[in-house]
Amino acid sequence: MSFPSLTIDPFDEEFLSDPFAYHDELREAGAVVWLKKYDCYAMARFAEVQAALKDWQTYISGRGVGLADFAREEPWRPASLLLETDPPLHDRTRGLMNKVASLASLRALMPVWRTKADALVAEVILKGEIDAVEALAEAFPLRVFPELIGLREEGLEHLIPYGTTAFNGFGPRNRILEQSMADAQEAIAWVAESCKRENLKSGGWGMQVYESADRGDCSPEEAERLVRSFLTAGVDTTVNGIANLIHAFAENREEWAKLRADPSLAKRAIEESLRWGGVVQTFFRTTSRDVATDGGMIPEGSKVLLFLAAANRDPRKWEDPDRFDISRNAGGHVGFGFGIHQCLGQMVARLEAEAVLCALLAQVTEIHATGTPQRRLNNTLYALAELPVSLTPAG
């Protein structure tokens, strides 16, 4: 074994509670490292992570983007037709989903989302001290996303627990995964039902996937599985993205003052929060061939853990990387991935964040922490359980 071998467990509770404390060690150890505990390789530097994401022929997704190798073990649910596939299948499904999740259909919604965010912030601000996770980060996506997809109203409380379990499912079968699986049985059944055509409202993105199937772009069975991707990837991610954004400003109050002085920085601030926050910490790939690297050869069929969040704070790429600085151009971060699998819903995520941020800007002069934020440990997401803040009303 020619690669530096580390005993570090990136899925244990200590690591997941404060992953950034360990990323330096991973990046400094080498461009490619060996993780003894899981018999897998890992990359944590920006250049290597980005290059691996770009080289989809070598670092494939079809054997799963979690620790489990689908060539050796059955996935816990039928594989995603987007996330866990390679071309040519991936390009067909991605192509039809790109048309459904178009920027054009989102543009029309933006004023509606802005009004809803304004109303939510107006409600919340009256309460004084709040838990920003529940009151804003969970509440806002749940007010807009189900409607975007065209979900039935009954059972929406299952969306977050389902996402939580799916993201835990990319890690090892540790206690975190076992517990969330045990808790999510009802949510799993609800999501499966919700993906069926008869349970989707006309006009929503869910039904539009079936209409794409009607035109021959995919089979009805594939449509059902593709709708599942919206439900899996679209909620716990944006919830934590918004929580992270508020957390960033609560911890860096001078940045809030800076944004208030110049609201045209809002888009930059969101991008910077995506770089800094590390909501999606990691994804795996599997090597399709022996790969020669400077440090040695990675054999075919190896799992490689890519640390997106560590790449986004790599000092080789970013100046003062741990600093949340809304003046910085964070463009090019890999928080949404890179290459052919780059986040399909990234514009949904950005527009949700923008709606909430603009509502806060209009109505709140100060955001400050009133207690210690509590983490919710997840094998993939850097998630917040609780974020006590007080919002000072404007005027």
Chain residues binding ligand OVP by CB under 6 A are 80, 82-83, 166, 228-229, 232-233, 280
Shorter beta-carbon distance to ligand OVP: residue 58 or 229? 229
**Smallest distance from ligand OVP to CB 30, Å:** 27
> Is residue 85 within 8 Å of 62, Cβ to Cβ?
yes
| 68, 249, 353 from 127: Cα distances, Å | 45, 19, 21
**Smallest distance from ligand OVP to CB 378, Å:** 12
Q: Which residues contact 380 (CB under 8 A, 6 or more apart)?
A: 167, 168, 170, 171, 280, 281, 282, 283
**Smallest distance from ligand OVP to CB 164, Å:** 11
Shorter beta-carbon distance to ligand OVP: residue 234 or 321? 234
The CA-based dihedral angle spanning residues 344, 207, 75, 234, taken in that order and rounded to the nearest 10 degrees = 40
Q: Which residues contact 224 (CB under 8 A, 6 or more apart)?
A: 195, 196, 197
**Smallest distance from ligand OVP to CB 336, Å:** 8
Shorter beta-carbon distance to ligand OVP: residue 101 or 125? 101
**Which element (helix H / strand E) includes 140?**
helix 139-149
> Is residue 121 within 8 Å of 136, Cβ to Cβ?
yes
> Is residue 343 within 8 Å of 349, Cβ to Cβ?
yes
Shorter beta-carbon distance to ligand OVP: residue 58 or 232? 232
Shorter beta-carbon distance to ligand OVP: residue 225 or 328? 225
**Smallest distance from ligand OVP to CB 344, Å:** 7
- Strands (E) across the chain are located at 5-6, 33-35, 40-43, 59-60, 129-131, 282-287, 291-293, 296-298, 303-307, 364-369, 374-377, 382-386, 388-393
**Smallest distance from ligand OVP to CB 166, Å:** 5
Shorter beta-carbon distance to ligand OVP: residue 236 or 325? 236
- The residues pairing with 384 across neighbouring beta strands, listed in sequence order, are 375
**Smallest distance from ligand OVP to CB 86, Å:** 14
Tokens of 288: 């399709």
**Smallest distance from ligand OVP to CB 65, Å:** 8
Tokens of 14: 């200590």
Shorter beta-carbon distance to ligand OVP: residue 26 or 279? 279
Tokens of 230: 């919206």
CA 235 to chain centre: 9
Shorter beta-carbon distance to ligand OVP: residue 233 or 269? 233
